[in-house]
Structure 1
Amino acid sequence: MTHAIDGMWQNSYGSQMRLSVQKDGLLLGDYSSTTGSSGRYLIIGYVSGHEPNPSLGQGVVISIYWRSVERSAPDASWHWVSTYCGQLQANQQMEVINSLVASTQFEQIIVGDYIDKLGFHKVESNVNLQPFELSIKGEHPDLINGTWSDPSNALSIQLAVTNPELGIVSGSASFQQQCFPIYGFTDTHRADLDLQSLSISGLIPNDKQPISISGTLDVVSQQLNVSAWLGNGTAPEESYLQASMSAWVLNKSSK
């Protein structure tokens, strides 16, 4: 089945991303950047359960790990992640909020979250994506592994690194009394940094609403400080409501 979001998309900076919907709204792809450090980066995300139409857009969230999978000179930005949250409209225009998590300083950019609005238009409908493994066999120890919760928001997530070379992490989330799978990225090449970046995405089952959670693990305090982004499908004239964000602090369960 072909989906409206399948294909190659380009933004105003000239960067391109290739997307393909898998089973149950899972979105896989890659991103080629022409700004800052250049390279090819992997994408994992989710789309809402309906195709866009003139009266209602399709919610979308995307997780990106800014560690290039092609040969290029590494730099400090390779530790960063992003969450894209927004929607695709029926006119094949996609607008997202880019929440960039800079977990280490790079040139003039200090540690922090950076917010930008990006617009994409489709430039090609058919693309040949190189497959990548979400999970490889064996145990992959990492500080991010385990169950993390914020009781005040009735939220818990269970995480495990499943492909350490690509930084892929998977697991499950419990939110709004619903359980669902989550996939995304964490900085498995953190080395001696004090912060480990994380961006994971999922689909809340009842409303088929995409959610992405991004932020950093503070290695010293052992707390996850994250922002949760919900992708809302809206009418074109209400697109200012397409992304909503909540801030959470999660602690690891001792069990």
Structure 2
Amino acid sequence: MNITDLLSGSVISSIAESTGATEKDTASVLANALPTLVSAMASNASTKDGADSLAAALDHHTTSSGLNALLQNVDTEDGAKILGKILGGQNETVQNAVAKKSGASRLDTSKILAMAAPLLLSALGSQKKKTKTGAEGLSTLLTGLLGGGEEDADDGSTLLSLAGSLLGGGSKSGSSSDVLTSLAGSLLGDMLTGGSGKKSTAKKTSSAKKTTAKKTSTAKKSTTAKKTTTAKKKSTAQNDDAAELLGSVLGSLLGGKK
């Protein structure tokens, strides 16, 4: 099983049927999350302890069973544990961001990823075995499967190019590293704006009360319009800064020059 098989129509349909999610939501969740998960695994594998731990996990999940057999016997409890190990303390944050970005419900997102995680390890385990890659070479293997090498494939043969196609992106318009920056940058932007949203709302509520007491109806409308414009500008700036920050980190990880 290849890693790109996880974004195939048959896998998407099977996961959608098992979770009760729509195929559209399932495809969007997988396309947004899988590159992020593989990138996180590559980062984890950049240290000796992380690489050794990942190698053991991949060996444990390597199987000769076909894709159809795997889909019928997915251990979602194991999948939830895998997500926790890959993402660590950012597990909930990433899943919330994926749900928001994909448009799927938080519950459906959790179900989809819990099914996808064991399949992902099985696919990567098969690739590790096929290429006879040791623990020390896992980080390079993973970035290569993503499409993060110097000679990226933009024909749908890498996870990033296929994910970009599913999300309506054009792999022809940029490298695979650009696609990952776009995907993960959007997720990080959602995390940052989501995290600051409560404080922003509280400040606006307090300001609105003062305005109500001191200004006329016309003045309130004018103030509200100005605040809305300012808020939009701040939100856009936060997303841009988030994308630039993550782009720099991922560019370094994938050997780019961000």
Q: TM-score, structure 1 length as denominator?
A: 0.26
The higher-RCO structure (CA 8 Å, 6+ apart) is 2
| Higher share of residues assigned strand | 1
Q: TM-score, structure 2 length as denominator?
A: 0.26
